């Protein structure tokens, strides 16, 4: 199939970006990133600079790939990262617009590469259970109800890609932050620090420049791991109660 | 060179406990003054960094990723082994030790493996305490499943994302230490050299991947937890960024590379389908708990399937060859990986393959779906359920167990594995070889440690499933934090290491020259094209089966390719800028040397064992034939551009009888 790609090029964080068009030929069994590999190989053979994009595991779990395709983070399919998207989702002759994840808290580094270190700092502000190596009791000493463990997993499955932020018109990181808070709150071990964790993580999130939540719900729709929106509602509840408990 | 593994005295079950109790300690006030560099933030690196920081050391941690959470440990699917015996099925530390030694085809070090089995239990406890959401039974207790090469159920799992959950546990522990300033985290920094001062590892040279700037970092010792080198094959289940460079730079500074030819080819991956393909995707071994591997009995049927004239469903039960169940009745579909992979190759080579390229076999869930469907109907009180109900209930059970894997398979292939069997073929997955380390996980270079997949120690010639997570975390949480004290207790009088020392200046200069050499070639071929060609040579001559003639040829092809690389590679962009092509180029340059060493190692080892199958050494039934007389030892290589030098560490087996591995 023959496609036209309109790709965002930007030399560095502070330089101005622009769209550049490329014609490519792709086969439907290619993954989307392999299609970009082929384009890059061509650009290199023409002694031009290839398109910078981040990727690593190429199986939908590391959370590295970060591009919006025709305005949608990770492209048109639900529950999929870009690296899992295959060209059979497209038709011959289509034009595809490829941009980096856009958010104030994710500055562009180059082309399609953005800086998501703000996510790390949110986790550092409280997204853990304070247990040193060697302090643990036997793994089976605290039974956890199967359904509850499974719900914790549904939140813990977050890959930290930032699609939720890029999808949100406010650039909010509520889904990311609430997923970690809920994962840990659902485990008995995580309840101990819960109140402190909620307050600290939300404060850090605000400090990083992420926007507020206005219940759009796009974060959940575009999340490659389909993390439920109910995480955000629960976090809001925890936050109110935490603020009052603290003061 | 004399290799001393420093295995403690005493009976195997007491070695670690006794040693741990008698080791030199570093007092808390001294720990604060000692700096440790940890390169890599996967399971081994993150767990080591977090634990060392908890103990009070000053840790500097490095990753080339944008975040420590991205390391490829995250992609491990199936699970982690632990000798908990929660299932009351006869498991024990000894049995896990025995299974691992046997699974490794008697080419691992007994004392290390026993310690690993001991630590396995603490890992589960630690992970649970961190909030890792393991699968649980209805009673709320931890669930288990089985993996290849064992007859007990000892694998703990978190759906098909066990590696992710364990890595996030370690990442969160690391984040906590970053927050309190005990770990200084350097993201997007790639290690390009290790710096030795008076024979001791005292620092590293890194390249800041955002600015291209070379930086010097000093410490009292250096820990490499930098993963495996499977990407030397280009196509593998590794992430695109996985590379050998950190380990290889250590080799170039005198560290020994042990058993480099021991690579694991994983039997259940999605087959190769195109020239532009960038990587292969693993389908977890856990699927072999319920999936049955088969090919048609008749070559005509395979041919018809390849041509698309027939599908798997057209082949009646009696005309299918469930070849693993036939050849290995005791273990059936759950034979170890090397055995299952070779068997798939044999069937495909016979013309029985079922994908277009001829390289692929079926992994079929129909029987399991039916069995689970009937059980579910019974438990729901449905009498005489019709076929449709059974299938639908059975598919629900399979979805709960392997949902994300089935979904991943469908996304990549466009086929629905609930309705049609999966098509799978072996692919490079893991490397048992790695930096030679002693019992303390210290390489032959003083103060240089290697953990996880980057070292060679525990898996012999073949790793059992769900053991990589176990080893990475054992090394990082429970072994290194103790053994590093053996080195550092002698360093409490050593003041801060200065990066102004001439050794640092030299290492930086050499690194700069190496980069300039590659950048200045300005040839016509991309880095990627060299990597692809290297991968083809490796797979052809040093892949699933090897022979002397091919290995000699492979070696010379690699030398030619390396020469061509330095004459005709083209790296676009600037040295002092964000430049992913340059990152790839320095990694491929190192792969071009590592690949040659793998060929040499495979040629020197005149036997078949585990993942190393030499065609000259096989039984009439095509099983691997070891030569214990000459090769019950570790090959540890000193690199030399012209002729690498071989050192051997003899292995002794006192607690497991050395015998022919049988899974029949």
pLDDT tens per residue, range B577-589: 999 999 999 999 9
Across the range B263-278, mean pLDDT stands at 92
Instruction: State whether A123 and B175 contact (CB < 8 Å).
Output: yes
The parent domain of residue A135 ranges over 117-246
- Nearest Cα residue in chain B from A13: B210
Least confident of A180-184, B170-174, B272-276, B570-574: B272-276
How many residues are recorded in chain A? 247
Tell me the three-class secondary structure of B510-545, residue by residue. Answer: HHHHHHHHHHCCCCCECHHHHHHHHHHHHHHHHCCC
Q: Which of A60, A78, A110 is the last residue of a domain?
A: A110
Instruction: State whether A143 and B139 contact (CB < 8 Å).
Output: yes
Question: SS3 of B132, please?
Answer: coil
Q: Looking at the structure, do residues A125 and A239 belong to the same domain, yes or no?
A: yes
Residue B230: phi, psi to the nearest 5? -55, -25
Measure in Å the smallest separation between the Cα of A95 and chain B Cα atoms: 21
Confidence of residue B411 (pLDDT cuts 50, 70, 90): confident
pLDDT value at residue B622: 87
Residue B263: phi, psi to the nearest 5? -115, 150
Digit-coded pLDDT (tens) for B201-248:
999 999 999 999 999 999 999 999 999 999 999 999 999 999 999 999
Q: Looking at the structure, do residues A241 and A167 belong to the same domain, yes or no?
A: yes
Digit-coded pLDDT (tens) for B4-28:
999 999 999 999 999 999 999 999 9
- Nearest Cα residue in chain B from A47: B572
- Nearest Cα residue in chain B from A125: B179
Sign of CA dihedral B508, B514, B515, B516: positive
Instruction: State whether A54 and B178 contact (CB < 8 Å).
Output: no
Query: Domain total for chain A?
Result: 2
| Chain A hits for B572, Cβ within 8 Å | 43-44, 47-50
CA dist B354 and B301 (Å) reads 9
B182, B337, B555, B605: the active-site residue: B337
A171 and A245 Cβ atoms separated by less than 8 Å: no
Instruction: State whether A124 and B179 contact (CB < 8 Å).
Output: yes
Q: Is the pLDDT of residue B128 over 70?
A: yes
Digit-coded pLDDT (tens) for B131-144:
999 999 999 999 99
Measure in Å the smallest separation between the Cα of B238 and chain A Cα atoms: 7
For the packed helices A174-186 and A194-207, what is the interaxial angle rounded to 10 degrees? 170
Sign of CA dihedral B64, B69, B70, B72: positive
Q: Which of A110, A134, A164 is the last residue of a domain?
A: A110
Give me the residue from A60, A113, A153 closest to B159, CB to CB.
A153
Q: Looking at the structure, do residues A121 and A210 belong to the same domain, yes or no?
A: yes
- Is position B69 annotated as part of the catalytic site? no
Alpha helices in B153-292 (DSSP H): 162-179, 245-252
How many helical (H) and strand (E) elements, i.e. helices and strands, does chain B have?
A: 19, 19
pLDDT value at residue B149: 85
Measure in Å the smallest separation between the Cα of A75 and chain B Cα atoms: 13
Q: Looking at the structure, do residues A94 and A122 belong to the same domain, yes or no?
A: no
Quote the tokens at residue A210.
């992420």
Digit-coded pLDDT (tens) for A121-156:
999 999 999 999 999 999 999 999 999 999 999 999
Q: Looking at the structure, do residues A122 and A237 belong to the same domain, yes or no?
A: yes
pLDDT value at residue B305: 96
Q: Looking at the structure, do residues A87 and A151 belong to the same domain, yes or no?
A: no
CA dist A3 and A91 (Å) reads 8
A–B CB contacts, 8 A cutoff, strictly below:
210
pLDDT value at residue A180: 98
Q: Looking at the structure, do residues A103 and A121 belong to the same domain, yes or no?
A: no
CATH number for the domain harbouring residue A96:
3.10.20.30
Instruction: State whether A110 and B172 contact (CB < 8 Å).
Output: no
Measure in Å the smallest separation between the Cα of A76 and chain B Cα atoms: 13
Instruction: State whether B168 and A57 contact (CB < 8 Å).
Output: no
Confidence of residue B273 (pLDDT cuts 50, 70, 90): confident
Digit-coded pLDDT (tens) for B420-465:
999 999 999 999 999 999 999 999 999 999 999 999 989 999 999 9
A17 and A7 Cβ atoms separated by less than 8 Å: no
Give me the residue from B51, B138, B279 closest to A133, CB to CB.
B51
State percent of chain B over pLDDT 70. 100
Q: Looking at the structure, do residues A121 and A106 belong to the same domain, yes or no?
A: no
Give me the residue from A47, A84, A109 closest to B572, CB to CB.
A47
Quickly count: other Cβ atoms within 10 Å of residue B310's Cβ: 17
Q: Which residue has the tokens 């072999």?
A: B288
Q: Looking at the structure, do residues A10 and A68 belong to the same domain, yes or no?
A: yes
Q: Looking at the structure, do residues A67 and A178 belong to the same domain, yes or no?
A: no
- CATH number (3.50.50.60, 3.40.50.1370, 3.30.43.10, 1.20.58.100) of B518-627 reads 1.20.58.100
Average per-residue pLDDT for chain B: 96
Across the range B337-352, mean pLDDT stands at 94
Instruction: State whether B54 and A127 contact (CB < 8 Å).
Output: no
Q: Looking at the structure, do residues A106 and A186 belong to the same domain, yes or no?
A: no
CATH number for the domain harbouring residue A242:
1.10.1060.10
Q: pLDDT averaged over consecutive 10-residue blocks of chain A (247 residues)?
A: 98 97 94 97 96 97 97 96 95 98 97 98 98 96 96 97 98 98 97 96 98 97 97 97 78
- For the domain made up of B266-428, the CATH class stated in words is alpha beta
């Amino acid at each position: 199939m023959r496609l036209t790609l309109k790709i965002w090029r930007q030399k560095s964080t502070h330089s101005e970006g622009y769209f550049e068009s490329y014609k490519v030929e792709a086969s439907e069994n290619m993954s989307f990133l392999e299609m970009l590999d082929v384009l890059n190989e061509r650009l290199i053979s023409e002694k031009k600079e290839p398109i910078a994009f981040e990727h690593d595991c190429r199986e939908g779990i590391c959370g590295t790939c970060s591009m919006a395709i025709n305005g949608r983070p990770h492209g048109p399919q639900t529950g999929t990262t870009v690296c899992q998207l295959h060209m059979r989702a497209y038709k011959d002759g289509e034009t595809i617009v490829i941009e980096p994840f856009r958010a104030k808290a994710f500055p562009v580094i180059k082309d399609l590469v953005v800086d998501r270190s703000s996510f790390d700092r949110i986790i550092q502000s409280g997204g853990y259970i304070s247990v040193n190596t060697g302090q643990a009791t036997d793994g089976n000493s605290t039974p956890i109800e199967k359904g509850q463990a499974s719900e914790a997993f549904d939140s813990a499955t977050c890959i930290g890609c930032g699609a939720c932020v890029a999808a949100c018109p406010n650039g909010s990181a509520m889904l990311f932050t609430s997923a970690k808070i809920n994962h840990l709150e659902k485990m008995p071990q995580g309840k101990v620090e819960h109140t402190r964790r909620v307050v600290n993580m939300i404060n850090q999130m605000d400090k990083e420049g992420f926007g507020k939540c206005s219940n759009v719900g796009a974060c959940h729709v575009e999340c490659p791991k389909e993390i439920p929106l109910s995480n955000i509602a629960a976090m809001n509840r925890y936050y109110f109660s935490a603020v009052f408990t603290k003061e | 060179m004399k290799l001393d593994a420093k295995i403690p005295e005493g009976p195997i079950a007491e070695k670690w406990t006794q040693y741990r109790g008698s080791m030199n300690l570093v007092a808390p006030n001294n720990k604060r003054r000692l700096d440790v560099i940890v390169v890599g933030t996967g399971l081994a690196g993150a767990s080591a960094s977090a634990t060392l920081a908890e103990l009070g050391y000053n840790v500097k941690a490095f990753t080339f990723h944008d975040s420590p959470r991205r390391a490829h440990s995250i992609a491990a699917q199936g699970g982690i082994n632990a000798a908990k015996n929660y299932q009351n099925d006869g498991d024990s530390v000894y049995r896990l030790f025995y299974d691992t030694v046997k699974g490794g085809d008697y080419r691992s070090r007994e004392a290390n493996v026993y310690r690993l089995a001991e630590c396995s239990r603490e890992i589960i406890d630690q992970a649970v305490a961190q909030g890792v959401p393991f699968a649980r039974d209805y009673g709320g207790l931890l669930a288990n499943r089985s993996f290849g090469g064992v007859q007990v159920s000892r694998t703990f799992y978190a759906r098909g994302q066990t590696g992710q959950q364990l890595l996030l546990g370690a990442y969160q522990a690391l984040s906590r230490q970053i927050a309190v300033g005990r770990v200084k985290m350097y993201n997007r920094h790639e290690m390009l050299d290790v710096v030795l001062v008076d024979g001791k590892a005292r620092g590293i040279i890194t390249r800041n991947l955002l600015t291209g700037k070379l930086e010097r970092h000093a410490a009292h010792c250096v820990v490499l937890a930098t993963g495996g080198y499977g990407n030397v094959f280009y196509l593998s289940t590794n992430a695109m960024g996985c590379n050998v460079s950190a380990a290889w730079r250590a080799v170039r500074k005198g560290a020994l590379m042990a058993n480099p030819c021991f690579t694991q080819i994983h039997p259940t991956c999605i087959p190769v389908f195109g020239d532009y393909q960038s990587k292969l995707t693993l389908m977890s071994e856990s699927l072999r708990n319920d999936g049955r591997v088969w090919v048609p009995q008749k070559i005509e049927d395979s041919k018809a399937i390849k041509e698309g004239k027939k599908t798997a469903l057209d082949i009646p039960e009696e005309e299918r060859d469930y070849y693993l169940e036939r050849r290995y009745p005791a273990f059936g579909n759950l034979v170890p990986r090397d055995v299952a992979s070779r068997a798939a190759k044999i069937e495909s080579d016979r013309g029985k393959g079922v994908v277009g390229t001829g390289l692929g076999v079926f992994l079929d869930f129909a029987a399991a779906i039916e069995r689970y469907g009937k059980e579910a109907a019974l438990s729901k009180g449905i009498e005489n359920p019709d076929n449709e109900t059974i299938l639908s209930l059975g598919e629900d059970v399979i979805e709960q167990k392997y949902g994300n894997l089935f979904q991943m398979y469908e996304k990549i292939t466009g086929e629905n594995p609930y309705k049609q069997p999966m098509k799978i073929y072996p692919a490079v997955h893991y490397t048992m070889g790695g930096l030679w380390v002693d019992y303390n996980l210290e390489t032959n270079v003083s103060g240089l440690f290697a953990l996880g997949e980057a070292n060679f120690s525990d898996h012999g010639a073949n790793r059992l499933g769900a053991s990589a997570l176990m080893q990475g975390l054992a090394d990082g949480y429970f072994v290194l934090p103790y053994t590093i004290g053996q080195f550092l207790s002698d360093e409490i009088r050593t003041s801060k290491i200065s990066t102004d020392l001439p050794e640092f200046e030299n290492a930086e200069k050499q690194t700069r020259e190496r980069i300039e050499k590659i950048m200045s070639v300005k040839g016509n071929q991309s880095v990627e094209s060299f990597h692809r060609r290297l991968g083809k040579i490796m797979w052809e001559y040093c892949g699933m089966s090897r022979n002397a003639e091919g290995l000699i040829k492979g070696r010379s092809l690699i030398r030619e390719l390396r020469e061509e690389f330095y004459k005709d590679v083209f790296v676009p962009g600037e040295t002092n800028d964000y430049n992913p092509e340059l990152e790839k180029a320095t990694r491929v340059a190192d792969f071009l040397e590592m690949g040659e060493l793998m060929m040499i190692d495979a040629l020197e080892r005149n036997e078949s064992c585990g993942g190393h199958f030499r065609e000259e050494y096989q039984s009439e039934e095509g099983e691997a034939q070891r030569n214990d007389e000459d090769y019950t030892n570790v090959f540890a290589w000193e690199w030399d551009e012209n002729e690498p030098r071989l050192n051997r560490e003899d292995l002794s087996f006192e607690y497991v009888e050395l015998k022919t591995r049988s899974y029949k």
